[in-house]
Chain A
């Protein structure tokens, strides 16, 4: 639930970083995204091996099937198909009656069979759309395939390495590939798209989609063209991106690089480029001249899949409300600001907590503030009743916001009811004007300088006086104290 990777946009949408290219405003950026997502499954795509953890010993989650021993055969993992179909439905894709798997042939030591089982001309789904702040990003297809293994080189560079090791723990892990049309126009949009996808995948339970764990890998295809032209420029594809921040920076860098290339009279070469996190730049990995001919053909070991429309319909009906739809509803139904609704619906658990707390009696706006300001950063979810109680007490003025925060923390660790904690700690807030007045007067006597300053027109002196009120009497209702102070000073 951490939002640290959702750092603030570093440029306005559509605006190019101009420090390297001459006239950035004359170029339009065109981005299509290929996103690989590991669906939430217990076992691999075509065998019974466990989908292990990141730190598992090398080759500990393998069998004869995912290591490509002679004579083995794949069997389709139904849970992976289901996750893919749910994703496709959530992205409003069309799902055909028949789909099939194909072999993508190429040789590399991390690919034990010498081919990857993927989908070519009859993918699991096609022609969908993801709404991004009211803009529609077209989804070309969502299909299913298997992951490759991992190479570990003893040395800095592949060609310098004395030894290379193959870890096949990841080989055969299911992957959904979500391909967008080139509908994105900036690094911001591309990043927002990837974040929206993550939210959607978590909402429907199709994937944990942790980018740092490699469960969501975004590969943008980037090209530039003169504003006003229709023809697409030559694109480059970026790989090795492992955070949303890196995605944003990599695209910014690559766009600036392409602008510079073109404006200095060169041409962009179609190629795959890697993102170096250390150097914060992209570098050429594989040019199209050496592109492989993958010799796709239908996987003969797997009969074509017939997708039962009743199954699809059942999955469709069972889908939860999509984040975009929910966001709009939170705005209209509860009067939340758009930004707040966006932050809350970015995490389905937060959104559920918010609505349940409101249902339990909390006012919407304060509840939203508590969810965004207190719950989300803490990473711990209170029950809706606890949150509602705290919000009600704070809004009603019976405890201060600081006390409310303390009550919430204590309730989360001990599981006790907020009212109980408030009573025990004597937090009940004093809103009685007569008793608060005694405090306020004492503070005014103790701070003649601040009183003088305020009366001389330095309104900020009020803060110092309020701070002293809080120090002497934490239970005093700040609103009451504030208005009393102003009255007595005025």
Chain B
């Protein structure tokens, strides 16, 4: 029995039956990390002391029969989520050495549910990127092909689960940063409806688009983790008090459901034939399970990428202003005036892509350009929301590839920001419209994992999870841990 290859649900049963202790489960994971992470490089830092304390607490709770749904489950956390006393740097040098003075809501809720945090995972700096190569530390490697990227920005969290280093992990998704790496690493990843999970404690990239979500090895696990952290938080005014019903009708199947295939997504520019073939096969499986596959259209898709790359940088240019070298993190000590201190701290603290986006966003919000860029992009965002509303009149959920490509070689797109931005073309619409979306593995192309994306209407995580679960059951595709 290799616990590093099992699902949360399976481990939950073993732990609750006292056939396995949280302590042992933790040491097996720490050993696995020790064995494989020098190749994968999913983690920026480990938190063994915290983990041991949490495992001991979980064992006591399990013994007392008061265990939460994640009791004893090894969890990896993306480097953008604040955990009290743990160095949290958003993958950036500017926050090097910054220990968060508080724990964010989503992580805190998983801790309350009994999770055992094993470490902090690598990511693109401030979650800006699609390959984790923009990390200021080092690139993370795809566990299925070490010379390839794991996707991004939550590449460390995706590969930690794919490599058996953590049972579940948390990522954040602003334009696809959970779903795309989940697809490229062959695991399940979900971005909830905007407002479903509190963003308190998430180092903001683009506040109106960011959401926290889980990486897991099954759709059921995904539902368990999401349910444990979802719900209204008085500290996040954008969090919703809607009922936490994400697991409603979880096993009801897709019989009689209408699943829309947007032609703009199906035939997206640059989609690889192998990916398309895997999606065709997945559509057959869903059809076989009783779903009706219907054509839908999202006519403003082409403008989505442009709107996204105005709005996200605009918000980031403001969100990142607090990293000024005055209160925390990297601080230039040579400057003799405040302007130089700002400029030097930020010039040395931020990487190329972050500086590029801060400049893009600053420009887009500038007086005289605001209407042409920011305001226009907001209008496009409204049109894209309307596209989805119209599409959902004809179907219950939308299915497509998560990423047009499989994992690409490390270094192959770093010189071409636009090519990198195109990685998000199928996912960022979900962020612009605030929709829940999940990526589930749907086979291989050229030996590498392909992801099937299911998008549902706002607040209908239950629908996305139900379709993904039905696909998982009908296809028999099981998430595997990469053979390292």
* Cβ contact within 8 Å between B82 and A75: no
* Cβ contact within 8 Å between A76 and B327: no
Q: Which of A100-130 contact B (CB under 8 A)?
A: 103, 105, 107-109, 112-115
* Cβ contact within 8 Å between B328 and A71: no
Segment at the A interface, from B5-13, B27-35, B203-211, B349-357: B203-211
Chain A residue contacts of B207, Cβ below 8 A: 300-301
* Cβ contact within 8 Å between B321 and A114: yes
Give complex CA distance A303, B208 in Å.
10
Our pick among A113, A297, A300, A302 for the contact of B322 (Cβ within 8 Å) is A113
Our pick among B95, B236, B338, B365 for the contact of A70 (Cβ within 8 Å) is B95
With both beta carbons as reference points, the residue of chain A lying nearest to B80 in the complex is identified as A71
Given contacts A73-B200, A113-B321, A114-B321, is CB(A107)–CB(B238) below 8 Å? no
Segment at the A interface, from B68-76, B96-104, B386-394, B400-408: B96-104
Given contacts A70-B98, A70-B203, A76-B237, is CB(A295)–CB(B362) below 8 Å? yes
- For residue B51, CB closer than 8 A to chain A, the reply is no
Give complex CA distance A72, B324 in Å.
16
Given contacts A105-B321, A113-B321, A114-B322, is CB(A73)–CB(B367) below 8 Å? no
- For residue B315, CB closer than 8 A to chain A, the reply is yes
Q: Mark A51-87, 1 if CB is under 8 A from B, else 0.
A: 0000000000000100111111111100000000000
Given contacts A112-B327, A300-B207, is CB(A71)–CB(B318) below 8 Å? no
Give complex CA distance A166, B331 in Å.
15
* Cβ contact within 8 Å between A303 and B237: yes
- For residue B314, CB closer than 8 A to chain A, the reply is yes
Q: How far is the CB of B175 from chain A (nearest CB, A)?
A: 15
With both beta carbons as reference points, the residue of chain A lying nearest to B104 in the complex is identified as A71
Given contacts A114-B324, A303-B238, is CB(A70)–CB(B318) below 8 Å? no
With both beta carbons as reference points, the residue of chain A lying nearest to B209 in the complex is identified as A300
- For residue A279, CB closer than 8 A to chain B, the reply is no
* Cβ contact within 8 Å between B102 and A70: no
Give complex CA distance A301, B204 in Å.
10
Given contacts A115-B318, A297-B318, A301-B238, is CB(A71)–CB(B324) below 8 Å? no
* Cβ contact within 8 Å between A70 and B238: no
Give complex CA distance A70, B94 in Å.
12
Our pick among A67, A115, A297 for the contact of B327 (Cβ within 8 Å) is A67
Given contacts A72-B200, A300-B208, is CB(A107)–CB(B324) below 8 Å? yes
- For residue A293, CB closer than 8 A to chain B, the reply is yes
With both beta carbons as reference points, the residue of chain B lying nearest to A113 in the complex is identified as B322
* Cβ contact within 8 Å between B204 and A71: yes
With both beta carbons as reference points, the residue of chain A lying nearest to B342 in the complex is identified as A107
Give complex CA distance A113, B100 in Å.
16
Chain A residue contacts of B208, Cβ below 8 A: 300
Given contacts A105-B365, A114-B318, A295-B362, is CB(A70)–CB(B237) below 8 Å? no
Chain A residue contacts of B321, Cβ below 8 A: 105, 107, 113-115
Q: How far is the CB of A58 from chain B (nearest CB, A)?
A: 14
* Cβ contact within 8 Å between B238 and A109: no
* Cβ contact within 8 Å between A109 and B82: no
- For residue B88, CB closer than 8 A to chain A, the reply is yes
* Cβ contact within 8 Å between A166 and B326: yes
Our pick among B100, B203, B237, B315 for the contact of A74 (Cβ within 8 Å) is B237
- For residue B234, CB closer than 8 A to chain A, the reply is yes
Give complex CA distance A296, B375 in Å.
12
What 16 additional pairs, Cβ within 8 angstroms, besides A72-B200, A103-B318? A68-B322, A69-B101, A70-B82, A71-B201, A71-B203, A71-B204, A73-B200, A107-B342, A166-B326, A295-B362, A295-B365, A295-B370, A297-B318, A300-B238, A301-B207, A301-B238
By a beta-carbon cutoff of 8 Å, the part of chain B in contact with chain A is 80-82, 88, 90, 95, 98, 100-102, 104, 199-204, 206-208, 234-238, 314-315, 317-318, 320-324, 326-328, 337-338, 342, 362, 365-367, 370, 374
By a beta-carbon cutoff of 8 Å, the part of chain A in contact with chain B is 64, 67-76, 103, 105, 107-109, 112-115, 159, 166, 293, 295-297, 300-303
